[in-house]
Structure 1
């Protein structure tokens, strides 16, 4: 336990935790470091967050820390932020705890989700309160619900998702009784009010080394079919002649290959081929998926139900819609410009497009298919940078001619016809960037057949 003492002592010395503890002790209250801080210390890592568990009531905390930065933020149980530190008031002991003769802090720890999160450290006596075997489970690399798993799940169904996240993140196994309880209670995950919190668990999982373990556990427990059915339905679907893995496995490989520092990009990787289920066609006895990047309805429904922001949903949608656009060693400059125009239309950076393409190429178990080499990546990046250095406009607003100037030349009123002219000009400029000069564009406008913008009676199309 010496290394645990060292880690937790360091926390006290370098954070506002110790003054809070001293204030509580001086007032006659008990106070412990609890939950994740103790768990992480036992795992040998410095905790990211440090929480305090106390028998002081919220009104006691308001009085003791009057004049300091305090805020009551409790929802499901009483939590007060004191100088940005979470101070949780112990929950009332339940009948089972009373019958078992438990006293504080065990009465509160027994209501927590997992045994590895149900420990408390007493900085005064330097002793560990571990009434439910959390330390032993860490040593055995086991995830187990605290006391009765059905009771813990009934109190909060999102704990099932958390169990999968912790197991995948630490490389632990979910203990048999806890695993079976999740399978039996998976349907409860759709309870009202859980969507935002499930979303947060998914986003947190993106920071793992390999979030695929998390999704595999969600699938094995039956949770994924209720949380992300668009992904779950890809399991056991053959990936077709170009892949050596199922569609589900391919999604997981691609997600793992994307950076942990970009969670929404990474999530897009885990979902990027979910449209293959809707696009499936059988050709010569093999699965093919023409236009699958356009089949986004199921994926977007899942993201909406999980209450992802409109910004995140648009970003994921753009990545999925654009990920099949080819960029090869022999791609012509014209095709690269059209690629960049597509990315501009999707509001997607070429960097994120390349990240997805690189991961998509890597996530393939077909021995014939090889990931990009560093040289391959440099070649493709060079093509993009060459196109950008040409200063080609990648949308109609970059044309060196305005809508008003087009109106004056053609004698047309403002309306859809002007937009059609700009689109035609833009298409020509993508073919030849040197055309994007005002005099050249004006001459191209004069050469246009005005019949393109009028009906059979000579009236302008509106």
Structure 2
């Protein structure tokens, strides 16, 4: 593993301008950008830590003409809006008090103190923007090499500071970890799992969905069940149902989908799906889709008919959960039914329920025939109206 950090994103002109505005030695890259660069992974979010206080950061960015937003001023975070993407700049901090849900912080001027308050060793890596020198006080680079997810210091203490770190641990284990897992980390999560009940449902739902959206969360979800964590956050879940879906997605080239994986974990009962959606504070659209997936019963039937009735996402859910072929949907656009009630009224049918019944019957035949063109729809309407006159 490289001793110094070097990546194209570090050499962007807008990044150089930002670093220059903050001043030599005042800021370092930290966290995911450093970790993922060392692993050769794409970098999505760039964070910096700085010895400068928030108001000083704002003043320097303003002086350099760099647009900035105080996205987390109370916690010392300013976002620099750059052409190449935003960069979050946070003043060094240490915790004054924590209660497992939130922390009271104070600004600090010691890099190691800032690193010590972070969760995992692999997230406490800092790099100098100019030299690429890496600062690692807790063995994060070695843990990256060994694919080991390990809490900084005492794992139980880290979890007591923020109970959500239990779920974060399993998400990071699914993404970066290998087996065997770190005993202290896993045992601490198992022991303190009941603390998760004190967190907001929304935070638990968000972290769970982040885990389920990873390429293959199935082994980690199974381990969460074995150590008693899954029963706290999702007692309805059956971890044995997830591997088959993950494999079906992989074989058929369908990207991972957290909501579909959640549906796989849950029993095929609409009421349970709706309860979980409410508990996780999912959106109305997500709740509707989860309920539709829970309504599955037997074989899903024709893929295109399913897509027309449920939409693309809903049909993919039903098909993949059943292990069925989704290739009929590749490159196929769901058609719009080319008949409106006004045309039926124009043919002499009085406006009202009868128009809706004719529309539905013609539509059902149109779907059954594989969505033929307008001329066939006209013929179907003619036949329906002739039958009505007979």
Is this a same-fold pair by TM over 0.5?
yes
Change (3 A) 1:93 1:228: closer
1:272 matches 2:246: no
**1:75/1:306 CA distance change after superposition, 3 Å:** farther
Contact 2:28 2:50 in 1 (8 A): yes
* 1:167 Cα offset (Å): 0.9
Do the aligned residues in 2 keep the contact of 1:323 with 1:353 (CA within 8 Å)?
no
Q: Does 1:39 align with 2:28?
A: no
CA drift at 1:400: 7.7
Find 2:188's aligned residue among 181, 190, 203: 181
Greater CA radius of gyration, 1 or 2? 1
Query: Which residue of the partner structure matches residue 101 of structure 2?
Result: none
**Residue 388 of structure 2 is aligned to residue 445 of structure 1:** yes
Cα offset for 1:38?
2.1
Partner of 1:138: 144
2:315 is matched with which residue: 337, 344, 353? Answer: 353
Provide the C-alpha distance between the structure 2 equivalents of 1:325 and 1:398, rounded to a whole number of angstroms.
30
What value does the CA root-mean-square deviation take over the aligned residues?
3.7
What's 1:257 paired with? Answer: 248
Contact 1:16-1:85 at 8 Å conserved across structures:
no
User: Residue 305 in 1 paired to residue 279 in 2?
Assistant: yes
* DSSP-derived class of the 1:56 partner: coil
CA shift, 1:117, in A, is 0.5
Give the aligned partner of residue 166 of structure 1: 172
Taking the TM superposition and a 5 Å limit, the aligned residue runs for 1:292-371 are 292=268, 295-322=269-296, 324-327=298-301, 336=302, 340=304, 343-346=307-310, 348-349=311-312, 353=315, 357=319, 360-361=322-323
The alpha carbon displacement at 1:7 in A equals 2.5
**Shift in alpha-carbon separation, 1:93–1:353, aligned structure 2, 3 A:** closer
Q: How does 1:367-386 map to 2 (within 5 A)?
A: none
Q: Is the 8 A contact 2:246 2:256 kept in 1?
A: no
Residue in 2 that maps onto 1:108: 114
User: Aligned equivalents of 1:352 and 1:314: distance in 2?
Assistant: 9
| 1:63 and 2:65 aligned | no
Structure 2 CA distance for aligned equivalents of residues 56 and 271 of structure 1? 46
Question: Does the 8 Å CA contact 1:78/1:88 hold for their aligned counterparts?
Answer: yes
Aligned length in residues: 364
Aligned counterpart, 2:15: 17
Partner of 1:280: none
Unmatched runs of 5 consecutive residues or more in structure 2: 98-107
Q: Is the 8 A contact 1:251 1:271 kept in 2?
A: no
Task: Measure how far apart 1:159 and its partner are.
Answer: 1.5
Q: Which runs of 5+ in 1 are unaligned?
A: 96-101, 235-247, 276-291, 328-335, 363-371, 448-462
Q: SS of the residue aligned with 1:229?
A: coil
* 2:224 is the alignment partner of 1:226: no
1:419 and 2:356 aligned: yes
Q: CA deviation at 1:171?
A: 3.2
Query: Structure 2 vs 1, CA of residues 50 and 323 (structure 1 numbering), >3 Å: closer, same or farther?
Result: farther
Instruction: Show CA shifts across 1:24-47 (max 9, x none).
Output: 235xx6211111122223324353
Cα contact 2:121–2:140 (8 A) shared by 1: yes
Q: 1:355 to 1:4 in 2, by over 3 A?
A: farther
Going from structure 1 to structure 2, the CA distance change for 1:403 and 1:227 (only over 3 Å counts) comes to: farther
For 2:124 and 2:118, the matched residues in 1 are separated by 6
Whole-Å separation in 2 of the counterparts to 1:345 and 1:126: 55
Distance in 2 (CA, whole Å) between partners of 1:358 and 1:137 is 36
Q: State the Cα deviation string for residues 408-445 of structure 1 (Å, max 9, x = none).
A: 54x6x63x455345445555666678575343222222
Indicate the residue corresponding to 2:4 in structure 1: 5
Partner of residue 201 from structure 1, selected from 198, 207, 217: 207
Residues 30 and 297 of structure 1: is their aligned pair in 2 closer, same or farther, counting only changes over 3 Å? same
Is the CA contact (8 Å cut-off) linking 1:146 and 1:152 kept in structure 2?
yes
Alpha-carbon distance between aligned partners in 2 of 1:199 and 1:121, rounded to the nearest angstrom: 33
CA distance in 1, matches of 2:111, 2:236: 43
2 CA distance for matches of 1:340 and 1:42?
44
Q: Secondary structure at the match of 2:110?
A: coil
What secondary structure, in the 3-state scheme, does the structure 2 residue paired with 1:160 have? Answer: helix
CA distance, structure 2, for counterparts of residue 399 and residue 129 of structure 1: 67
CA distance in 1, matches of 2:162, 2:198: 9
Q: Deviations over 1:7-26 (max 9, x none)?
A: 24x33212633332232235
Change (3 A) 1:306 1:184: same
Q: Determine if contact 1:7/1:46 at 8 Å carries over to the other structure.
A: no
Q: CA offset at residue 446 of structure 1?
A: 2.4
Shift of 1:297: 1.6
Aligned partners of 2:214 and 2:13: how far apart in 1?
26
Q: TM-score with structure 2 length normalisation?
A: 0.78
Greater RCO (CA < 8 Å, at least 6 residues apart): 2
